[in-house]
Amino acid sequence: MEFVVFLIAGAIVVGGAIGVLAFANPVHAALSLVATLFGVAVLFVAQDAQFLAAVQVIVYAGAIVVLFLFVIMLLGVDRSDDLRVEPIVAQRPLALLAGVGVLAASLVAVLSAGGSTATRTVRSTAVAIPTDEPDITSLGRLLFTDHVLAFEITAILLTVAVVGAVVLARRPGRDEPSVEADVEAEA
Amino acid sequence: MFVAQTLPTVTASWYVSLAALLFAIGAVGLLVRRNPLVMFMCVELMLNAVNLTFVAFARSMGDLGGQALVFFVMVVAAAEVVVGLAIMVALLRRRPDATTADDVAALRG
């Protein structure tokens, strides 16, 4: 059963990723990205990570892609790229070569380590995945005990990101000098 | 029972191989595409590939720490997208014609 789920979700993931790569219109690429993110969420569910699948759909498909679409449409940059031009000579063959190299290296590493018992040894500090309680309960307990410092730091990070986004994206008021005026005054 | 005998078992290697493919597609897209927004999307693809490996290893090793790490990767990815898109908005407001990454070469030495 998991095999069927893996095949379908994997096809959606790879197809969506190729769509992001190949669609000339950024809006189509963003919608193709949604398909990939949903496929990854399905694969999370197939691996008993239900909470992460929900977060994946809510945060990635719900928030990040919508943010992408907002920026694309509000700024009017949704005209298609001309994919026929190649800005740098031999850029695409070299990029494809690099991609195939990355893929080959990862696959060799995975398949050579796949059968060995070294990957099966569990660290002594490992937090076992409990089977008698929901995934979210144990994950929440882990986040608020072992990883509580990292959790607090992500709170600071999100605050900094929000403040930074507001500072970067807002228009300067009429009375205050803009960044351009500062640059020209210094020059 | 018949189905269980014929269909192969999906191991962690399968998920990691799929993640490697997803990562490679994202890397190629980042190198090939010139629209900064699409380049961002390709970065998201690569981050998702890494998340997939984390979850696969978390299950195969029976360690919930992998899933906790995916949670933090998602938070950092969200922050990265917010700041990156804000930079793009500020850039395109000053220079509406700069729609490809090659147009923003002012810092080139």
Residue B102 forms part of a structural domain? no
Q: Looking at residue B88, which CATH number applies to its domain?
A: 1.10.287.3510
Domain range for B55: 11-96
Inform me whether the C-beta atom of residue B78 falls under 8 Å from chain A C-beta atoms.
yes
Residue B78 forms part of a structural domain? yes
**Chain A residues with beta carbon closer than 8 angstroms to that of B75:** 154, 157-158
- Tell me the pLDDT tens digit for each residue of A30-69: 999 999 999 999 999 998 888 999 999 999 888 899 999 9
Our count of domains for chain B comes to 1
Domain assignments of chain A as residue spans, ordered by start: 1-83, 147-187
φ, ψ of residue A92 in degrees (nearest 5): -70, -45
Give which of A27, A48, A75 to mutate to test B binding, by max B Cβ within 10 Å.
Answer: A75
Residue B68 forms part of a structural domain? yes
- Tell me what the mean pLDDT of segment B11-30 comes to: 90
CA distance linking residue B21 with residue B7, whole number of Å: 22
CA distance linking residue A137 with residue A55, whole number of Å: 15
Give residue B107's pLDDT: 65
CA of A167 vs chain B CAs: smallest distance (Å): 9
CA distance linking residue B73 with residue B48, whole number of Å: 9
Residue B33 forms part of a structural domain? yes
Residue A117 has pLDDT above 50, yes or no: no
ipTM field:
0.87
Q: Does residue B52 contact residue B22 with C-beta atoms inside 8 Å? A: yes
Burial class of residue A96 (count of CB atoms within 10 Å of its CB; 0-12, 13-18, 19+): middle
pTM: 0.84
Residue B87 forms part of a structural domain? yes
What the block records as the tokens of A4 is 């069927």
Q: Which of A102, A158, A105, A70 is nearest to B30 (CA)?
A: A102
Q: What is the mean pLDDT of chain A?
A: 82
Inform me whether the C-beta atom of residue B54 falls under 8 Å from chain A C-beta atoms.
no
Residue with more model confidence, B19 or A80: B19
Q: Does residue B19 contact residue B53 with C-beta atoms inside 8 Å? A: yes
- Check CB contact under 8 Å for A102 and B14: no
Q: In which element (H, E) is residue A149 found? A: helix A148-169
Residue B29 forms part of a structural domain? yes
Q: Which residues of A2-37 are buried (b: 16+ CB within 10 A; e: fewer)?
A: ebeebeebbebbbebbebbbebeebbebbbbbbbbb
Nearest to B23 among A47, A60, A102 (CB): A102
- Tell me the pLDDT tens digit for each residue of B55-69: 998 888 888 888 999
DSSP A63: I
* Domain A1-83, second-level architecture: Up-down Bundle (1.20)
**Chain A residues with beta carbon closer than 8 angstroms to that of B59:** 47-49, 129
Provide, rounded to the nearest whole percent, the portion of chain B with pLDDT above 90.
Answer: 41
Inform me whether the C-beta atom of residue B53 falls under 8 Å from chain A C-beta atoms.
no
Residue A186 has pLDDT above 80, yes or no: no
